[in-house]
Structure 1
Amino acid sequence: MDKIASANKSVTTGVDEKDIEHWVTIYIMGDEYKVPADLTIMQAMEFAGFKFTRSCGCRAGFCGACSTVYRLKNDYKLQTDMACQTRVQDGMFLVQIPFAPADKAAYLINEETYQPNIFIKYYPEIARCVSCNTCTKACPQDLQVMDYIQAALRGDFARVAELSFDCIQCGLCAIRCPAEIVHYHVAQLGRRMYSVHGLKKEENVENRVKEIEKGKFNQDFKKFLDMDEQEIKQAYRDQQKSKEVY
């Protein structure tokens, strides 16, 4: 991150471009741009003068907003990644930063029965899966996307929840799927069903909720609400040093 910050000085601080040592050439919407070599795709586009009003979010690789499709010079393959986490390469052709407006089924999770056919009920297109593994190859999180779709076909809620746990719902799997499956919505349904109907209720959580409802921590809440920013930061640091686990 220090290298990226250093390379980005001309953007953030107005440092002269001659002070930047390494440069690469990238192509955005067909136009050639010379950018510092240590920038991410998102930073490089901003360096080139583009301003993001959408397709940007946390800039930490977790929100899934900046999913990117690109090609490299002399390589016919489409590459997919997150713009905020992927460093630019020389000869990179940025094709698009897409948004995937995929259909999402409406359901009331508490009123659904814990039956394997719920995936087919709301997302029947999963039956068209040809196991091509394109979705898995497109995933920037390196999830086994095809495997959890197959688990959904079998009605294995636990397996779907486990394999899709780190999904950031960027949509790259959906835009590449020849069967028009919306993988991340299927996974979300599986995780919700498993958490509501499949997982055993955690006794410690239920006890803590009851304590909160009875007002056991009202004084502590008030104490924190009355703190200023620096006091809250210090309280956090003190808690991290302690052995108490919440």
Structure 2
Amino acid sequence: MSAGLMCQQTVLDGMEILPLPHVPVKKQPHRLELPEDETPAHHVLRLYPEVNHCVMCGECVRMCPMDLDVMGYVGMIKRGDLKSAARESFTCIQCQLCVIRCPASISQPNAALAARRWLGAHQEPRAEHLTRMVEKVDSGRFTAIFRWMRRMDPMEFQALYLRREREPDESPPGTWLPEDRTLL
């Protein structure tokens, strides 16, 4: 028997499809601010202390439909290596299959998400281009354009979307710019 997501499985003769049971997920409410005496790594462990109870059974790894080293990124969180944990868990789709099989009741996807959030908020350098864009949005530069789009007929909006300029698939990251730069 194996588990997977229906959206990622090819239907095979004799396959049985069963719904997953509801999994109440431990998700801690949080803010990105940290107490003065706490590092991001300690904060993640304080929110998700159950990661310290991992028994290294590997069930989470066997269940992951994304082939992630779930047990590995849990270990990285335990060691305080949020950067490696964030990189290893980046493609997690939050399906919670690892949580279903975990004998220690660890909420691996949510602990990893917290690690990515605090790493980005407190340890990674700010992306200057995003900072500039947020400033433009906050200044009200796009308010009139957003109002205009909200008033559009849905079919007209869809046609506008379909006519948009698209970045070529083969362009190197960060090099392409659209001809119409009014929104940049």
2:116 match: secondary structure: helix
Unaligned stretches of 5+ in structure 2?
A: 168-176
Correspondence for 1:215:
140
Return the offset for 1:173: 0.2
Identity %: 32
Counterpart mapping for 1:175-190 below 5 A: 175-190=100-115
Return the offset for 1:153: 0.9
Deviations 1:141-170 (A, max 9, x none): 221211110110110111111111121211
The answer to whether the 8 A contact 1:99-1:171 is kept is no
Q: Which has the higher contact order (CA 8 A, sep 6+)?
A: 2
* TM superposition score normalised by structure 2: 0.79
Structure 2 Cα separation of the partners of residues 94 and 224 of structure 1: 42
Return the offset for 1:93: 3.6
Return the offset for 1:108: 3.0
Structure 2 Cα separation of the partners of residues 212 and 115 of structure 1: 28
More strand per residue: 1
Structure 2 Cα separation of the partners of residues 102 and 224 of structure 1: 37
The answer to whether the 8 A contact 1:119-1:153 is kept is no
Matched to 2:136, the amino acid is: E
Return the offset for 1:94: 3.8
Structure 2 Cα separation of the partners of residues 197 and 148 of structure 1: 19
Return the offset for 1:96: 4.1
The yes-or-no answer on 1:97 pairing with 2:12 is no
Larger radius of gyration: 1
1:168 match: secondary structure: coil
Deviations 1:71-127 (A, max 9, x none): xxxxxxx31111233233233344542221132334333134324333332222222
Return the offset for 1:228: 1.6
Which of 32, 36, 51 lines up with 1:109 in the alignment?
A: 32
Please, what is the CA RMSD of the aligned residues? 2.3
The yes-or-no answer on 1:87 pairing with 2:10 is yes
Structure 2 Cα separation of the partners of residues 115 and 241 of structure 1: 37
Counterpart mapping for 1:59-208 below 5 A: 78-112=1-35, 113-208=38-133
Correspondence for 1:239:
164
Structure 2 Cα separation of the partners of residues 223 and 124 of structure 1: 48
Matched to 1:159, the amino acid is: S
Return the offset for 1:233: 2.1
